[in-house]
Amino acid sequence: MYPEPIKKISKILSDFPGIGPRQAIRIAFYLANQGKHLVQSLGESLEELQQIKICKECFSSFEFSKGENGLCHICKDKNRKDNIIAILEKETDLISLEKTKDFKGKYLVLGEISKDGILKGEQKLRLNSLKERLGNNQEKIEEIILAINPGTLGDIESSLLFAELKNFTHKISRLGRGLPTGGEIEFADDETLRGALENRR
Ligand SMILES: [Zn+2]
C-alpha cells in the first residue's frame, strides 16, 4: 500500500532506537516531502559518518583520522588510569560522565541493554574483549564501576556483569546511588552524576 521507497527507508528507520514502525513511516513521508535539498544534505551527513570508527578497546565511536592506531583519545591518554574501568551502555552516558571531570579511568561501552535483560551477541564480544585484556594483566585491576542505568533491567544486567567480571578485579562497584530509579545517566545533571560517582558502592 505504501510506495516502495517509503517502505524501504521506513524499514531501516524502524530499527532506530526509540522509533516504532508508525513513526518510521511518518518520517519517511516527511523526508519525501522535504524535497531535494534535505535529502541531499542528509545523504552527505550519512556519508561523513563513515569517518566515525569504533575504538578497538573501549568500543566508543570516535572520529578517525589516518595514521591512528584505532584507539580513541581516552584510551590513548597516558594520564588516565588503566586499572579503573567504568562499564556503560552507550556513548551518551560516557559523554555525561566525562562532563563531570571526576572520572579518570577508562571505559567500556557495552551497548544498550536488551528488553529481556540478557547479554546479546555484540555485548558478549565486547565483554570478552575486556576480559581478554584484563586477563593479560599480571595483577587484578583495582576497580570496575558498573555505570548501568538503575532500574529492573539495569539490575539484572549488573548482576550478570558482576558474575562475569568478579575474578578480574579487587572491587566491583555500582554507580547509581543518588540517581533516581529509572533515571538515566545520559540525562542526569553533572552534580547528580558526581554524587553518584562518589557514592558508588
Ligand atoms: Zn577507546
Please state, in angstroms and rounded to a whole number, the distance separating the CA atoms of residues 130 and 135.
Answer: 8
For domain 78-198, say whether CATH 3.10.20.600 is its number. no
The CA–CA distances, whole Å, from 17 to 13, 49, 111, 180, 195 equal 9, 17, 12, 22, 28
Q: Which pLDDT band, with edges at 50, 70 and 90, does 180 fall under? A: low
CATH class name, domain 4-48: mainly alpha
Ligand 1 centroid to Cα of residue 71, in Å, is 5
- CA 26 / ligand 1 centre spacing (Å): 36
Q: Is 132 exposed, middle or buried (0-12, 13-18, 19+ CB in 10 A)?
A: exposed
Question: pLDDT at residue 146 above 70?
Answer: yes
Rounded to the nearest angstrom, the distance between the alpha carbon of 75 and the centre of ligand 1 is: 4
Going from the Cα of 77 to the center of ligand 1, the distance in angstroms, rounded, reads 9
User: Ligand 1 centroid to 70 CA: how many Å?
Assistant: 8
What pLDDT is recorded for position 178? 63
Residues 6+ apart with CB under 8 A from 143: 83, 84, 85, 105, 169, 170, 171, 172, 173
Question: In the chain, where are the structural domains located?
Answer: 4-48, 78-198
The predicted structure's pLDDT at residue 183: 67
How many percent of the chain have pLDDT more than 70?
96
Q: What are 10-22's pLDDT values in tens digits? A: 999 999 988 999 9
- Per-residue pLDDT tens over the stretch 28-70: 999 999 988 998 999 999 999 888 999 999 999 988 877 678 8
Q: pLDDT tens for residues 74-98?
A: 999 999 999 999 999 999 999 999 9
Q: Report the pLDDT value the prediction gives residue 176, as an integer from 0 to 100.
A: 66
- Give the three-state DSSP class for 128: helix
- Cell triple for 67: 595514521
57 C-alpha to ligand 1 centroid (Å):
5
pLDDT at 123: 92
182 has pLDDT over 80: no
Q: How far is the CA of 91 from the centre of ligand 1 (A)?
A: 11
Question: Residue 56 Cα, ligand 1 centroid: separation in angstroms?
Answer: 7
- The band of 127, judged by pLDDT with boundaries at 50, 70 and 90, is very high
Quick check: pTM over 0.75?
yes
